[in-house]
Structure 1
Amino acid sequence: MAQTGTLTQAQSDALAGYNLALSNFKSILRQRRAQIDSKQPLPNLPGQALYLARNSTMSTYKDLTDVLPSRIGRPNKWGIPPAYFDADLEPLIDEYVKIFEVMQAPPANAQKSDTPFKDVVDLGRVIARAKGLGAADADAAGRISLGLFFAETNGNQTIGNARSNKYKGSLQTGPPEAENGRRKWAAIKPSIASLDPGLNLRDDREEARLGNLDRRYNHWTSVRDALMNAHADIFPQIPDIVKALPDPIDQLKLFELIQIIPSPTKSALRSGNPMSYRVSDPRIMGYLRNNSMFAYGRADRARTSVTFREILDAMWLFNAKFERALSIFDGIKRGSKG
């Protein structure tokens, strides 16, 4: 950008805004890294400032490329549309991810699993079977459940949350959601015992293992209770969802929306034409933006109404996670222990 004198005022303002946001992002990254390396106490919700700084960087970059399309560069390794992200900043996002891994690390007494991916798939499958689905649709439920695990934690088990004191665990639930899921599991447990005695025994062992631990810090119970709370009641609709959305990644996105905006997503499914169902409630739009949809650039943030098809298309930050989940699911089907 040596020829800054040739820029219009709008272009100059957009460039200045982006440079300021990028500088702030780098500064907060350095600050958190220094605090971690020197073992200083971190502030409450230490990831929030980082998250907002990252969002601001992407948002101001989109504002810049809107008025200066020549700044749109090469593709990046996450598949983020190049108009939203400068691929030269990949090392900054790598550092961002590493810092979050430290800040969200499970507590020392967390109860991990040696087969975390297979556990998620097995639980999704057996819950779907208990809800009356056949083998093929239960298989889809296992695949969808694994996608949710990657959407919520990038496949990391029993983690905390650097942006919230409420949500924890392998599928990031709050205490009321976890307790609701536990009650629902207890109601179908006789069916589970009949369908899969081995899995039922594993469940009994995990319950005995818990002691006084927060249930969300045991991988098995964390996943089980989260699936029962938010998704199990939707599993019977999987045959219709798969028919309406043949793309597996679209299916995963729809189920992730049950996690993010449950009521509108269920209404969309009941409508008979879910992809045309429109959302315009400002509160719901806020939830979408807080989860990286319509959050970057003035044009996207100005949107006040979107269809579910537009929402799914805007969930591009989930694509790489879901592609990894699908790859791991294929490995589990081939016999990997996961």
Structure 2
Amino acid sequence: MPRVVVGLGLLLAPLVFAAGDAVINAIGSFSPAVGGLNFISPAMGQKGLLANKQSDALDAYRSALNTFELILRQRRVQIDSSRQLPNLPGQALYLARNDTISAYKDLTDALPSKIGKPNKFGIPPAYFDADNEQLLDEYRKLFDVMDAPPANAQKSDTPFKDVADLGIAIARAKGLDPANAEAVGRISLGIFFAETNGIQNAGNARSNKYKGSLQTDPSEDQIGQKKWFAIKKTIASFDPTLSVRDNKEEARIGNLDHRLNHWTAVRDGLMSTHADIFPQVAGLAKILPDPIDQMKLFELMQIIPTPTRAALRSGNLLNFRISDPTVMGYLRNNSIFAFGRADRAKTSATFREILDAMWLFNAKFEQARSKFDEIKARKP
């Protein structure tokens, strides 16, 4: 099932190509006529092909960028003037962003000299020019408005602690020791940041199906509720305070959609998709010692759950290969292998390659790790 992740707000702004005309005009000259025929020498032909490739890449980037900027302006005008937004207002913006990043990567592949300095978002410079960071900020601001929680959402005053506490409690109920349960708490925060930038009760400007703090659909939430009540007594036996909080939130949401309440949305989402593999955390930590990689793997449970479960059962997680075109499409829909011709042309990938290609998630997971450290430091 494809999942639409919100909160991956990245974009590109116009670039100034001082050498643009030189690139376009750097086409090889014809050699003198021989026998009444003109021809291009092999060396000049190669230069001409290279120049054409560079010129085409530049044109494609400019076109993608123009489209992207147009949609950015449209959404800003619509929001500022309180006009009704179209259905799924974030989708066109997201796709235009992807096209722009892809076109820029194709441009830097053709013209490596265009690869510039690092940027504050941690995006590889081959995909983004740091001089254009202001538009990434604007893109994020637009999505913050479009993904805003619904008016009847029930917020928490401790949203990050809730996520960590629920993850730890579920892990303990599944038999994990304190250290590994703590790792689950950190991973749970990673999922929260990856799905919504850490915004509780988030809507979804790219989907009418997914919403809430863990971006679940109605069936996932129902499954999570049933699984939670199966372990609720176990959790109450070792954490009565958390159990009391759960009773209050359950009464608060009543018969409404549980995804409108931060606590129940996180609880049900973790139980539905992740709880069954929490017991594997200790073993996974040996295969993936980097906490960021661990978060990435559990985020893949959100995006491609069935293949991820198959990889975990394989006994060779990192070398397990995905080759199903539909699954590869789900990955691209979530900004993995989505940018540049080389990545988009991939027909298969191992889980190690997939984890490495999830660089767009790195900043979110770093935020989650930092937030978890803050929560842990506050505990007596």
Task: State the shift of 1:193 in Å.
Answer: 1.0
Equivalent-residue separation in structure 1 for 2:188 and 2:280 (angstroms): 14
Which of the numbers 215, 220, 236 marks the counterpart of 1:193?
Answer: 236
User: Which letter maps to 2:341?
Assistant: R
Which of the numbers 73, 77, 86 marks the counterpart of 2:120?
Answer: 77
1:208 aligns with 2:224: no
Equivalent-residue separation in structure 1 for 2:20 and 2:197 (angstroms): 40
| 2:90 paired residue number | 47
Which of the numbers 81, 95, 109 marks the counterpart of 2:152?
Answer: 109
| 2:324 paired residue number | 281
| 2:34 paired residue number | none
Task: State the shift of 1:125 in Å.
Answer: 0.2
Give ranges in structure 1 of 5+ residues lacking alignment. none
Equivalent-residue separation in structure 2 for 1:277 and 1:87 (angstroms): 35
Task: State the shift of 1:247 in Å.
Answer: 0.4
Task: State the shift of 1:212 in Å.
Answer: 3.6
Equivalent-residue separation in structure 2 for 1:201 and 1:256 (angstroms): 29
Aligned-partner SS, 1:108:
coil
| 1:269 paired residue number | 312
User: Which letter maps to 1:2?
Assistant: A
Q: Deviations over 1:252-282 (max 9, x none)?
A: 0001001111111111111112011110000
User: Which letter maps to 1:314?
Assistant: A
1:2 aligns with 2:18: yes
| 2:181 paired residue number | 138
1:20 aligns with 2:20: no
| 1:87 paired residue number | 130
| 2:300 paired residue number | 257
Equivalent-residue separation in structure 2 for 1:262 and 1:161 (angstroms): 20
| 2:47 paired residue number | none
Q: Deviations over 1:139-160 (max 9, x none)?
A: 0010000000000000000011
Report % sequence identity.
70
Give ranges in structure 2 of 5+ residues lacking alignment. 1-16, 24-50
| 1:164 paired residue number | 207
Query: What pairs up with 1:226-241 in 2 under 5 angstroms?
Result: 226-241=269-284
Equivalent-residue separation in structure 1 for 2:147 and 2:244 (angstroms): 31
Task: State the shift of 1:89 in Å.
Answer: 2.0
User: Cα gap change, 1:298/1:223 in structure 2, threshold over 3 Å: closer, same or farther?
Assistant: same
Q: Deviations over 1:290-313 (max 9, x none)?
A: 010110111110000101000000
Equivalent-residue separation in structure 1 for 2:141 and 2:287 (angstroms): 38
Report the TM-score, using the length of structure 2 for normalisation: 0.87
Equivalent-residue separation in structure 1 for 2:219 and 2:212 (angstroms): 13
Equivalent-residue separation in structure 1 for 2:184 and 2:79 (angstroms): 39
Which of the numbers 107, 117, 121 marks the counterpart of 1:64?
Answer: 107
Equivalent-residue separation in structure 2 for 1:21 and 1:125 (angstroms): 45
Task: State the shift of 1:238 in Å.
Answer: 0.3
Equivalent-residue separation in structure 1 for 2:143 and 2:331 (angstroms): 21
Aligned CA RMSD, in angstroms, stands at 1.1
Rg bigger for which structure?
A: 2
User: Which letter maps to 1:113?
Assistant: S
State the number of aligned residues.
337
Which of the numbers 255, 264, 267 marks the counterpart of 1:221?
Answer: 264
